[in-house]
Amino acid sequence: MQPFPGDQIQLPRNMIENSMFEEEPDIVDLAKEPCLHPLEPDEVEYEPRSSRLLVRGLGEHEMDDDEEDYESSAKLLGMSFMNRSSSLRNSMSVYRQSSNGSCSLPSTRTMVVCTVILVIAVALIMVIYLLPKCIFTKEGCHKKNHTMELIYPLATNGKLFPWAKIRLPSDVVPLHYDLVLQPNLTSLKFSGSVKIVVNIIRVTWKIVLHSSGLNITKATITSAGGHQEKPAELLEYPLHDQIAVMAPEALLAGQNYTVNIAYSSNLSDTCYGFYKVSYKDENSRQRCFAATQFEPVAARSAFPCFDEPAFKATFLIKIRRDEKLSTLSNMPKKATIPVTNGIVQDEFFVSLKMSTYLVAFVVADLKNISRETNGSLVSVYAIPQHINQVEYALNTSVKLLEFYQNYFLINYPLEKLDLVAIPDFQSGAMENWGLITFRESSLLFNSRTSSARDKKLITAVIAHELAHQWFGNLVTMEWWNDLWLNEGFATFMEYFAMEEIFPELHSDEDFLNLIFKAMMKDSLNSSHPVSSAVQSSEQIEEMFDALSYIKGASLLLMLKHYLTKDVFQAGIEVYLHNHNYGCAQSDDLWDSMNEITNGTLDVKKLMKTWIVQKGFPLVSVVRKGKIISVKQEKYLYLVEPENWTSDESYLWHIPLTYITSSCNFTHCTNAYLLDQKSAVIELPEEVEWIKFNVDMNGYYIVHYGEDWKTLIDLLKKNHTALSPKDRANLINNIFSLAGLGKESLEKAFELIDYLNKESSTAPLTQALFQLSLIYNLLEKKGEQQLAARLMHRIECLLGDKIDQQSWTDDGALSQRELRSTLLAFACTHDIRNCRTTATEMFEKWMNSNGTMSLPSDVMKAIFTAGAKSSDGWDFLLKMYSSSVSEAEKSKMIEALASTEDVRKLIWLMQNSLEGEVIRTQELSHIIATVSQSLPGYLLAWDFVKENWEKLTRKFHLGSYMIQNIISWSTSQFSTKAHLVEVKSFFESKSEQSSQLHSVKEAIDTIQLNIQWMERNLAMLQELL
């Protein structure tokens, strides 16, 4: 994110008007209040009325001449009012009462004098109020100054807090932290102390930093070279999670000082900050340990700190713990010393320079296995009963670490790398430098119960987090607006590394499907640019979405193909070397790439069109002989399609790629940079067909117009002339265009008629996804007969393919994954005899009391069928409680949430929220599954409405969990009544809730569902 705007934010009109009538005690003139701490003249922002003071003047700094003159003018104006009031009072004496009690009229002379005085006074008021203030200054109007009235908030003790911006001031920077922590896993509290060495950039009286929910008992400041700690006044402003340490004397520029703070707090009962983790050991006894999750803004809840990514520092961490437990942190352990009876202190080596959100520590009873590679010890940790499930993760981590070191030409800089499986963990994983934490299902592989898809997920998550050790940890985005530099790069490298090291996993097909889903989000009017200005913690958390991750990654994929892989790799190496142990902005990446292109291509100019604009282009293609006409416009759904117009202000520099019938192999790919609204491409010869966006390596959709018929015929006659990814791309594009109203739904259904010959996962998965969207809309709209006819159409297309699937784990990994997809779909919708076969297998498993081994790839289909009966559901819940395989439990959860028993669904959601039997981390997964079914989609929304306050306390506004819950619980609605209900609900909540991106997306999605049904319902009735 760019630094905060320099101009002072204008006050809302109602606030300006109210301030004119404030009582005098609410207005503090700093020039007349020497007892207050001096304030520096930093711009400030609007604060809630309850916590602000209107401050006139510039604090310790003298006013400029023009300001002094303006202040004098204001005083003169005040005097004129007083004089005028006095005159008017005196003039009242001319109204004398006559003896009979009536008033006599003033003389003509008196009337004239009063009139003249009144006209002069009014004229003077108008001049002073209406003309610019600079007219009355010595300097004139050559400069503007907006610092006359600053708004500062109140601290908790009622004193003035010396800072009002959300971002911390830049006059103090941290250099080093000494942190001592002592968690108590019995009382669930912790105490701590931190010594922060800071450097003063500009003279100041204050040190403003972050603190959230900490009970601070002591604050002192020590000067460089000094030994005496001087007590410092501490002010707190909880609205911004800020504290101000007020120095007893001026802090001098260029000097180092040490801030000493002692504090205590409770271990969090959410999965943020320094929090409590609960699990059952091998003997089913409840156990606890403590772990951290600081990204993005929760380090401040574990220790006072400068909790912004650009404030990098080194950390010396000491943790006191029960001698029966162990601790882990970012760095290797240096020493363990006894403290008191049964308590020891672990001290870790000083860390490398890093951001606060990457600090991590775990206090637990864990076991591990390890292996050394290239001077670093790689270890995987888990609770004792899961240690037999970590070997795959260790082998995978070593391979990936070696690959990244070779690719980046920078060695992993730490002596150790720990990967820890945490039982309570809301996200998939967290890339803390040297201590990566994971949800158990993202790290543990059970050879008996983990499917092909599970293996792919674990590999992908490890690849993602290891890539962060360079992108994010070594080089960090300067502010959260450029989060995509971290997450987009890690996502790109995740899939690139998997293709290079584990080609048998076909990870590129998964990436393709993720891009399709990201484009659905990006096509909404509520979308945002990849690099977006953010300020509040809610806005920061909302940046962790599909656009930062998937769109960011797909833009890098597009650039890699356009620059060629060698140029792209060289640019990455320059970027990492130029900014290691520092921070970067998007432009720094493009500048690094330009060092390699050396003027042959302006990468910055090209990529800025993708980073700072939301959405993506629609490229229309018209072929006439050898001439190909292409034009671009913004792809955007609007609620009123008749008013659809292209936004002329949007222009992308699009690296178009295409293949033709004359040569359709990969090495025949042609490229053309479309940097204008339209252009003409001349082919060397006429061709039968042309396909743009080869393998969907570009982030745009293509409309072929009349050439759709040519491509439909090609798929029917020889679908293998195009790659599986190209076929999936065509399916996605034509259904997207049908939703936009630019192509007919009839043509989209005609294109997928070839599917009975399809055997590749990517196109089949995309077709099922598009058809499922339509089926769900019809079903929830009450069009059951039409939905049944659509399912019959799907059965005709894919029935033979479903029949060919075996209920085993045999075959290549891609075949196994396709089997999982097809059989899960068939059993859910009761196609062919899928549910019968699955139910029989479930009953055999239940009769064996869960001891019979089930094929892992079809386990979800079997569990889903079994959960349809009440006995089966109850048995599945019992097995869930006792299972030690996270992969198995994940499949059980989805099956349990697929029941049609309303009472069971309500119990499941409520229990997950409470976290008793089912972990709270599973709630969004449960709501997503419940909302897909006909009896469940209204229940899911009702549950969200009734528990909104609990949900936002548990998961935080803007968090990825809340984003998912909002999206899933509303995505099936397609009526105006539901649209009004969703709007009204969020409008009735806090302003922060109603302004969430995810809420706006939910409303956009419902509007589009309504529009889609109005446009296509009649057509569907004809087609089906």
Residue 233 bears catalytic tag:
no
- Reported as half-sphere exposure (CB side, CA atoms, 13 A), residue 469 has a value of 28
Measure Cα distances from 922 to 444, 743, 929, 1002 in Å: 17, 39, 11, 21
Which residues contact residue 17 at a Cβ distance below 8 angstroms, ignoring those fewer than 6 apart? none
Q: What is the DSSP letter of 155?
A: P
What is the rounded CA–CA span in Å between residue 956 and residue 862?
A: 35
Nearest CA-CA partner of 955 in 297, 387, 272: 272
Q: Say if CB 766 and CB 728 are below 8 A apart.
A: yes
What token pair was written down for 561? 């193909």
Which residue of the set 308, 431, 440, 465 is catalytic? 465
CA distances, 696 to each of 459, 667, 727, 734, 761 (Å): 23, 16, 10, 14, 15
List Cβ neighbours of 528 (8 Å cut-off, separation of 6 or more). 547, 614, 997
Neighbours of 1014 (CB within 10 A): 11
Please name the amino acid found at residue 904.
Answer: K
Look at residues 295, 302, 291, 299 and name the one whose alpha carbon lies nearest to residue 329.
291
Tokens of 170: 């830049």
- Which two three-digit tokens encode residue 692? 């743009």
Of 982, 988, 948, 986, which Cα lies nearest the Cα of 965? 948
Residue-by-residue DSSP string for 716-785: HHHGGGS-HHHHHHHHHHHHHHHHHTSS-HHHHHHHGGGGGG---HHHHHHHHHHHHHHHHHHHHHT-HH
Virtual torsion, Cα 937, 939, 940, 941, nearest 10 deg: 90
Are the C-beta atoms of residues 689 and 718 closer than 8 Å to each other? no
Please give the Cα distance from 479 to 203 (Å, whole number): 25
Distances (CA, A) of 722 to 508, 615, 629, 656, 683: 16, 27, 22, 17, 19
Contacts of 413 (CB under 8 A, 6+ apart): 352, 474
The 3-state DSSP composition of the chain as helix, strand, coil percent (nearest 5) reads 45, 20, 30
Q: Is the peptide bond before 296 cis (omega within 30 degrees of 0)?
A: yes
CA distance 889 to 793: 34
Q: Which of 301, 383, 4, 1 is nearest to 163 (CA)?
A: 4
The catalytic site residues sit at 465
